């Protein structure tokens, strides 16, 4: 099974090789050199020099401690966020999410991010599986949780986050995920996995 960095926890929905979607093929690649060229609080940029059959190349890899994506369910509403994203220069609709500390337990991170971004804590976290959001450039693993049994327990939000809480019904979010109005990739995954778990009827399952 795939083991998350920093914890012995095995995710119940993580694929267990051998699997028909996992291909094993010997690739003639030799790592010649590896160096970290930039390091921030939550990730670092590594440059690898590798020898391939056709020559030597450099490639960048973002080393990442992993992140959590939360689907908070409160009175039949999903607590969505409207958050300004500087990289896009616009405010988008998305699920609460956040980066794990390098040595932080996954569920500790989930509870902390939920309280910082929504003002609620969860009495129950149901795992909804993991994804690699960008395996071509980073080793980041995103862990998804359905957060239930919510009660008010706010923590101070990060100073650089501009967030507005927006509760929305799950069926409406499913429709938005399928027709393209919900554009944030992690939120599409989280909403559709939640709908599948709760038995919400859609035109794909």
The DSSP symbol for 203 reads S
pLDDT tens profile 42-100: 999 999 999 999 999 999 999 999 999 999 999 999 999 999 999 999 999 999 999 99
Predicted pLDDT of residue 158: 82
- For the CA atoms of 130, 135, 137, 139, what is the dihedral angle to 10 degrees? 50
Element of type H or E holding 172: helix 170-179
- Residue 116, SS3 per DSSP: helix
- All residue ranges of the chain with pLDDT < 70 are 1-26, 202-205
Predicted pLDDT of residue 160: 82
The tokens describing 14, both together, are: 């993580």
Domains and CATH numbers, the chain: 67-198 (3.90.79.10)
- For the CA atoms of 75, 154, 6, 29, what is the dihedral angle to 10 degrees? 80
Residue 143 backbone phi and psi in degrees, to 5: -105, 130
Predicted pLDDT of residue 16: 42
Asked if 61 and 46 touch (Cβ cutoff 8 Å), the reply is yes
């Amino acid at each position: 099974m795939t083991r998350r960095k920093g914890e012995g926890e095995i995710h119940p929905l993580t694929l267990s090789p051998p699997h028909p979607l996992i291909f094993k093929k010997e690739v003639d690649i030799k790592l010649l050199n590896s160096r970290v060229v930039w390091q921030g609080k939550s990730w670092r940029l590594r440059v690898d020099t590798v020898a391939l059959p056709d020559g030597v190349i450099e490639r960048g890899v973002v080393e990442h401690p992993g992140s959590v994506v939360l689907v908070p369910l409160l009175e039949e509403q999903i607590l969505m966020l409207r958050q300004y994203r500087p990289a896009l220069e616009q405010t988008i609709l998305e699920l609460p999410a956040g980066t794990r500390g390098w040595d932080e337990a996954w569920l500790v991170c989930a509870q902390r991010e939920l309280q910082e971004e929504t003002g609620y804590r969860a009495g129950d976290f149901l795992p909804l599986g993991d994804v690699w959001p960008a395996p071509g450039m980073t080793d980041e693993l995103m862990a998804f949780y359905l957060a239930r049994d919510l009660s008010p327990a706010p923590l101070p939000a990060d100073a650089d986050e501009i967030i507005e809480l927006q509760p929305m019904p799950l069926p409406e979010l499913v429709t938005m995920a399928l027709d393209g109005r919900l554009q944030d990739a992690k939120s599409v995954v989280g909403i559709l996995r939640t709908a599948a778990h709760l038995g919400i009827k859609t035109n794909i399952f």
